[in-house]
Chain A
Amino acid sequence: MRPVLFCSLLLLLTACAAKPATGPDVVAAAVSYRSRGETVRGLLYRPAGEGPFPAVVVVHGDYGLTAGVKEQARRLGAKGYLVLAVDLYRGQVVSDLMDAHILDRGLPEDRVLADLKAAVDYLVGRADVRADSLGAVGWDSGGGHALDAAIRDPRLRAVVVCYGRLTTDPELLAPLQASVLGIFAGKDEGITPEIIDQFQSAMRRAGKRVAGIHVYPECGHGFMNPATPHASDSFAASAAADAWEKIEAYLAAELQR
């Protein structure tokens, strides 16, 4: 009896997680497009309706396009964005920290940037996308890639960096056309308050707009990921919910005008 009850509860929870109670239905589909002579694949999350929709490129972190990242992409889809979740690892997804490191450390930067530019090209080429309302969201190393992509691609108007690598040189930030929202973890060993300060002052000096910097003091790196890939990334439900509110409000203000 008890296991049955537990199972039904679990099923109910899963159903709730898979289909948010609010927002339009989302249809997921695998898509492919060209990136510098190669055919690359991504997952597209399309809201119901005809559009045109504002669009968001979702950039995964060092573990690849995991179930957790797909969930985040779907969530944005349910908020009315046409979302393209890129697959920089060309199909590889890992669950072990060292494997993640091996892939992350080896990923050629020029290929990443070409893939992200190709993702924007793909979105702009779709009739159901509002080409002037494009953003990018990334977690972990994907946050750094999202910012790097926006620095090189003026079509991106909004960037969300979730505990990802920042840029500290105002000259490098000069071409950036997007505003930036930053979500950070207070217990992150790598992204220190000094680095965040350096980023903010570089943005100021470059005349760019930081839409918000939110540091969650009690959280560690990876706190937004419900499908915690390893022990050191501990999901923090209430901080993650707050971060999502900030992200959704920011994207709505920037892309749904």
Chain B
Amino acid sequence: MRRQLGFGVAALVLLLAAGPARAAVKTSEITFKSGGEEVRGFLAEPDGKGPFPAVVVIQEWWGLNDWIKENTKRFAEQGYVALAPDLYRGKVTDDPSKARELMQGLPRDRALRDLKGAIDALAARANVQKDKIGTIGWCMGGGYALQLALNDDRIKACVICYGRVVTSPDAVKPLNAAVLGIFGEEDKGIPPSDVRQFEQALKKADKQVEAIQIYPGAGHGFMRPTNGPVKNPEYRETQTKDAWQRIDRFFAKALGGK
């Protein structure tokens, strides 16, 4: 009896968490060109003809895992055609020592080529508005989101979630995108002093900055609820909720989603 009640409550909670009736979304695995290679990506599209704005979603050091796919679907529910390229070419892990090797071995130029290929693939789709393409990434992918925006002027909006920043005004010069930064105050690898240097560099170079948000009580990786099958001890629910609101507002403003 109690157990059933428990299940009932859990189901209700799940329903509530799912929020107001989710928009229909179509997901598929696609391949696209990156230089002379074919790479794969996870595509999520809103229902309807569009054309829709689009987002390139960039993986963490774990690879193109379920959480990244969920986030990709989430953007489609909000009216974006979202594409998450598989930078590791089929490899995905929840083992940190493997993730370490995968991240350290990934040639940066190949990753950037894949990401530009993802923009080409999006821009070529009939249901995409070519001039409304943004990018977002977390952890390793946060650094790549910024690098993509620095290296490809088709990116109009860029969200960096606790990813590697650049610290000199010269380095941000080529940027053609508006920027939202999401960082944790307790992140030892990207301390607030580095984040502020990044913000100063953007402002000095006269770039469009939505906000550079440093969340107290949060460290690295705070937006991801789980690590593979287990809970992520770094997850911070309140800060994450606020971060998602800011991300949604920013993309809606810069790209015109819902």
Contact = CB atoms under 8 A, between A and B. Distances in A.
A167 interface: yes
Given A97-B100, A111-B167, A106 B110 contact: no
A172 B190 CA distance: 27
A48 to B, nearest CB: 36
Contacts of A166: 107
A100 B76 CA distance: 34
Contacts of B123: none
Contacts of A104: 103-104, 189
Given A101-B96, A108-B164, A190-B102, A165 B107 contact: yes
Interface string B198-224: 100000000000000000000110000
Interface in A56-101: 61-62, 92, 97-101
A109 interface: yes
Contacts of A135: none
A231 B97 contact: yes
Nearest to B166: A110
A105 B110 contact: no
Interface in A106-164: 106-111, 114, 140-141, 144, 163-164
Contacts of A97: 96-97, 100
Contacts of B101: 188-191, 221, 232
Nearest to B188: A102
B167 A103 contact: no
A9 interface: no
Interface string A171-212: 010000000000000001111100100110000000000000
Interface residues of A, number: 43
Interface residues of B, number: 39
B104 A140 contact: yes
Contacts, number: 119
A156 B97 CA distance: 32
B168 interface: yes
B121 to A, nearest CB: 19
Contacts of A108: 164-167, 194, 198
A230 B97 contact: yes
B189 A106 contact: yes
A232 B93 CA distance: 14
Contacts of A100: 100
A165 B98 CA distance: 15
A106 B167 contact: no
Contact of A102 (B97, B98, B102, B189): B189
B105 interface: yes
B139 interface: yes
A250 B104 CA distance: 24
Contacts of A105: 61, 103, 139-140, 143, 163-164, 189, 220
A169 interface: yes
B188 A99 contact: yes
Interface string B158-181: 000011111110110000000000
Contacts of A107: 164, 189
Interface string B137-148: 001100100000
A101 B234 CA distance: 14
B166 A189 contact: no
B105 A192 contact: yes
B26 interface: no
A188 B104 CA distance: 10
A168 interface: yes
Contacts of B170: 110
B185 interface: no
B164 A232 contact: no
Nearest to A61: B104
A106 B187 contact: yes
Contacts of B66: none
Given A98-B96, A105-B164, A108-B167, A141 B187 contact: no
A231 B95 CA distance: 12
B188 A188 contact: no
Contacts of B188: 92, 99, 102-103, 106
Interface core residue of A101, A230, A231 (most chain B CB under 10 Å):
A101
Top 10 A-B pairs, shortest CB-CB distance = A190-B105, A106-B189, A232-B97, A106-B190, A191-B105, A190-B101, A102-B189, A189-B101, A103-B189, A169-B109
20 contacts: A62-B100, A100-B100, A101-B100, A101-B189, A103-B188, A106-B189, A107-B189, A108-B164, A110-B171, A144-B104, A144-B108, A165-B105, A165-B107, A190-B101, A190-B104, A190-B106, A195-B107, A198-B110, A221-B101, A232-B98
Interface of A: 36, 61-62, 92, 97-111, 114, 140-141, 144, 163-169, 172, 188-192, 195, 198-199, 221, 230-232
